Amino acid sequence: MSKKTSEKIVDYLKINGPTTAKVLAQCFSLTTMGVRQHLQALEDDGLLSVEDRKASRGRPTRYWALTEKSHPLFPDRHDELTSQLIESVRVVFGDGGLDKLISHREAASQQLYHQALDGHETIRDKLDALAQLRTQEGYLATVEIDENSFWLLENHCPICAAATVCAGFCRSELQLFQHLFKGMAVVSREEHIIEGARRCAYKVVPC
């Protein structure tokens, strides 16, 4: 199946960088107006940005470039690379070395999370702050309340590849949450994406 014109434009910009509509029209044997329609649609989707560059004479020339939102359109093997790197750490440094790596990550996250939750007194306020931080990290986290407990719900796992090959990452995150609410609440994981659940659900029961 041949690629659509918009896909060809995206590929061209990826390879050649910011380009004008005139150059693209010549490249794909289209009218400048026709190319602009494709460019405008891609810009509306957030895939392109525009920059007007001053020309030696006359009006500025408009250049079109890809945005970060276009990254998922291209092959991404970071999950495979992550798995390979974890396995390499295990082979070179042993399970003890991998545990040290996970512990270092947990300590760094603990410091960051403590700073984010500092100043929030109640469990609900702390959970809201934590959910906001986790969402920024890609976990799509929300907070819910039932009669006797709170729930931190994470609807996506951006470290799923790492967690799949090394359960220590998930164990470390649970321990991190338990530490954050030590003395205030008991935290347990009731649903787990790695085990086939739709989301990770953490139950937070006040002490």
Could you tell me the CATH number of the domain that includes residue 152?
3.30.1380
135 shares a domain with 196: yes
pLDDT in tens, 92-143: 888 888 888 888 888 888 888 989 898 899 999 999 999 999 898 888 899 9
pLDDT at 63: 95
Rounded to an integer, the average pLDDT of 55-70 is 88
Is it the case that residue 165 has pLDDT exceeding 60? yes
Could you tell me the CATH number of the domain that includes residue 11?
1.10.10.10
pLDDT at 1: 38
Please check whether residue 13 is in contact with residue 66, taking contact to mean a CB–CB distance below 8 angstroms.
yes
pLDDT in tens, 64-83: 999 988 888 876 666 676 77
142 shares a domain with 41: no
Token pair of 183 as six digits: 């003395």
Domain of 109, in residue numbers: 78-206
- Please indicate whether residue 15 or residue 166 has the higher confidence score (pLDDT): 15
Number of compact structural domains in the chain:
2
What percent of the chain stands above pLDDT 70? 95
Helix, strand or coil, per DSSP, at residue 151: strand
**Calpha distance 139→154 (Å, rounded):** 5
| Amino acid at site 56 | S
57 shares a domain with 101: no
Please check whether residue 170 is in contact with residue 135, taking contact to mean a CB–CB distance below 8 angstroms.
no
93 shares a domain with 42: no
130 shares a domain with 201: yes
113 shares a domain with 56: no
User: Which of 58, 73, 88 lies at the terminal end of a domain, its last residue?
Assistant: 73
Please check whether residue 62 is in contact with residue 50, taking contact to mean a CB–CB distance below 8 angstroms.
yes
pLDDT at 76: 62
